[in-house]
Amino acid sequence: MGTGHAHDGRDATPGGAGAVGTTPGDHATSVAAEWWILESVGPAVLVLALTAYLLGVYRHRGRGPWAWWRTTVWIAGLTSVGVGWAGPLAEAARHDFTAHMATHLLVGMIGPLLLVLAAPVTLALRTLPTSGARTVSAVLRSRPARVVTHPVVAAVLNGGGVWLLYATELFELMHRSMALHLLVHVHVLLAGIAFTVAMIGPDPNPHRASLRVRATVLVVFIAAHSILAKWLYAHPPAGVDPVDARAGAQLMYYGGDVVDLAILILLFAGWYPGSRLRPRLLPGHPRERRERRIPRAGQRLG
């Protein structure tokens, strides 16, 4: 996501234009080249992700057609992330806080929601060779996966990371290190994906928390996100014009609420039909024990 500082991050590099043996023109050219490389990495990864997904859809034909809308949301999700990572909006985000906040919504909230709804893990389990599918299944069962996809942990990684970005010097430091800039980009995306998976992921998840836990965490997360937006409205980050900061904070508040509300609706929409159609099984019942195992590919858990 963009840095949103009051000046272009391309000028804020260690050593400055006055470094020995360089001229201002050489320095500007070098920094511009570095930013071009940085902006090329993200889109290249997204193209690979699109290619892999479409290849999976092609291989799925033998098992019947893959839902067209899942392919559509995958493409939309990658596009959302790509717009936030590179292009005019990402460029503007380096000196405009409102544009920066737009990239935050695209990369950290809208993109993850769309990508998760595309059910890429289910597609992989259905189309990979047996050895590959077993590897994916082993990852799903692993302790790290259980920790990262726990609602509380995912909420801390997602919401806590955003608080850390704006409430500390991290926001300003992003202008001075392109490596840190890239790291924040990746964290925002992965944390958003982990949180969405923990809340409403349609892919197999042997560690899925109960509806009560997920709903509680989601409500707390929404409140924390709203509080942060209000805090930014009153306390702009260093170097950000107050008027720009207030506009960005409002975008974060209202735009974030729309995405959070969509997740809340999907959470209960996925639970309600199952609660009406499936009888509750007593602990220890043979069928109950079977259903606690990792489900077949594509099975949705409530």
Angle at alpha carbon of residue 175, lines to 171 and 179, rounded to 5°: 95
DSSP codes of every residue in 49-82: HHHHHHHHHHHGGGG-PPPHHHHHHHHHHHHHHH
Average model confidence (pLDDT) for the chain?
A: 80
pLDDT at position 177 is 75
* CB distance 89 to 103 below 8 Å: yes
Domain annotation covers residue 298 = no
Could you report the per-residue pLDDT of 175-220, keeping only the tens digit for each? Answer: 777 788 888 889 999 999 999 999 999 988 878 888 999 999 999 9
Q: Domain range for residue 118? A: 9-271
Nearest Cα to Cα of residue 98 among 1, 175, 185: 1
How many other C-beta atoms are found inside a 10 Å radius of the C-beta of residue 294?
A: 16
Domain annotation covers residue 68 = yes
What's the number of domains the chain is made of? 1
The DSSP symbol for 63 reads G
Q: pTM for the complete prediction?
A: 0.78
pLDDT at position 259 is 94
Domain annotation covers residue 259 = yes
* CB distance 239 to 172 below 8 Å: yes
* CB distance 242 to 200 below 8 Å: no
Tell me: pLDDT of 286 over 70. Answer: no
Amino acid residing at 148 = V
Domain annotation covers residue 295 = no
CA distance 40 to 212: 42
* CB distance 104 to 1 below 8 Å: yes
Could you report the per-residue pLDDT of 139-176, keeping only the tens digit for each? Answer: 988 889 889 999 999 999 999 988 888 888 888 887 77
Domain annotation covers residue 302 = no
Domain annotation covers residue 292 = no
* CB distance 154 to 148 below 8 Å: yes
Domain annotation covers residue 278 = no
pLDDT at position 206 is 79
Domain annotation covers residue 279 = no
